[in-house]
């Protein structure tokens, strides 16, 4: 029996121009393509002549097991995720399935992990440069994680002044989480803090809104929306949302070093009186 391969592929935001050549090549070379039906539709133009296994929401374990089993049987299998499969995607579940069946390195199937552009990056590119300094991502879905844990993470990120990308902020049955998230963040941020809401980046029906922390709930927010909340340093410029890296704390725009600072050395911060 020939050794199968299982490629776990991130297809990016879903627009072909933003999928990597490696991801597209893996799909073209596959015999079997497994995925959530919405993501399968995004790559349907690559699927002629292939066996396609598509399932619905909440059937992730079945998809992962099916992909592993077909690959163990000798097929060239691709399991697709949107964004990057290793960021809120299927890669982690594949490893759990492999661990459950006792798979070891060198066993069939050969495992290949192919990265893609994750939602935070694609959405950020639609609104400016909000992720230039330290940032984090937090999913507001409590289907698999207790809300108390999520709330602690939001509070920690807000207190530490991270730019925060909120994934899965709301759905038809989950509406309170984004309200509570806003309330938590407002304890640490001004109401004028810039906020971006991007739905379906680079897909048909894309919607982009720029607002502030006080008014983010005035907009439609659903499962396909990513909410990017700025830090205390984030600003708006010509319709773009920007978080500075901090160069002007050390240099002038002529490239001169500010008094008391040294290139290549730690930033010197004056003590507050």
* DSSP output for 65-123: HHHHHHHHTT-EEEEEESB-TTSSSSHHHHHHHHHHTT--TTSSSEEEEE----HHHHH
What confidence score (pLDDT) does residue 160 get?
98
Q: Is the dihedral angle over the CA atoms 193, 167, 170, 175 positive or is it negative?
A: negative
Quick count: other Cβ atoms within 10 Å of Cβ 209? 18
pTM comes to 0.91
Round to whole Å and give the CA distance between 101 and 134: 38
Answer whether the bond into residue 109 is a cis peptide, omega within 30°.
yes
**Cα atoms in the 13 Å half-sphere on the side-chain side of 231:** 21
Q: How far is CA 48 from the centre of its chain?
A: 29
* Own/partner long-range contacts of 174-177 (Cβ < 8 Å, ≥24 apart): 174/140, 174/141, 174/142, 177/140, 177/141, 177/142, 177/147, 177/150
In three-state secondary structure terms, 183 is: helix
Q: What is the Cα–Cα distance from 250 to 256, expressed in whole angstroms?
A: 9
| Among 84, 72, 75, 73, residue whose Cα is nearest residue 8 | 84
Whole-angstrom distance, CA of residue 188 vs CA of residue 160: 9
Q: What is the pLDDT along the chain (273 residues), one digit of tens a residue?
A: 568 999 999 999 988 899 999 999 999 999 999 999 989 999 999 999 999 999 887 789 999 999 999 999 999 999 999 999 999 999 999 999 999 999 999 999 999 999 999 999 999 999 999 999 999 999 999 999 999 999 999 999 999 999 999 999 998 888 899 999 999 999 999 999 999 999 999 998 999 999 999 999 999 999 899 999 999 999 999 999 999 998 888 888 988 999 998 998 999 987 654
Q: How far apart are CA 273 and CA 18, in angstroms?
A: 50
């Amino acid at each position: 029996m020939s050794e199968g391969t299982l490629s776990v592929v991130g297809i990016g935001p879903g627009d072909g121009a933003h999928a990597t050549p490696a991801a597209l090549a893996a799909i073209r070379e596959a015999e079997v393509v497994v995925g959530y039906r919405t993501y399968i539709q995004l790559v349907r133009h690559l699927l002629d002549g292939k066996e396609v296994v598509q399932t619905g929401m909440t059937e992730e374990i079945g998809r992962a097991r099916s992909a592993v089993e077909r690959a163990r049987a000798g097929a060239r299998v691709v399991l697709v995720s949107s964004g990057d499969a290793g960021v809120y995607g299927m890669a982690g579940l594949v490893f759990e399935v492999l661990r459950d069946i006792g798979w070891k390195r060198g066993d069939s199937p050969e495992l290949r992990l192919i990265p893609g552009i994750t939602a935070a990056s694609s959405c950020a590119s639609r609104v400016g440069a909000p992720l230039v300094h330290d940032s984090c991502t937090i999913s507001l879905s409590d289907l698999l994680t207790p809300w108390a844990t999520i709330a602690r993470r939001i509070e920690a990120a807000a207190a530490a002044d991270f730019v925060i990308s909120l994934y899965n902020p709301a759905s038809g049955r989950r509406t309170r989480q984004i309200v509570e998230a806003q309330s938590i963040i407002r304890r640490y941020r001004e109401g004028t803090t810039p906020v971006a809401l991007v739905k379906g980046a680079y897909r048909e029906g894309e919607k982009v809104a720029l607002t502030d922390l006080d008014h983010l709930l005035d907009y439609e927010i659903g499962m396909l929306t990513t909410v990017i909340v700025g830090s205390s340093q984030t600003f708006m410029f010509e319709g773009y949302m920007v978080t500075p890296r901090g160069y002007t704390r050390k240099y002038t725009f002529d490239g001169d070093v500010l008094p008391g600072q040294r290139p290549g050395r730690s930033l010197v911060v004056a003590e507050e009186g």
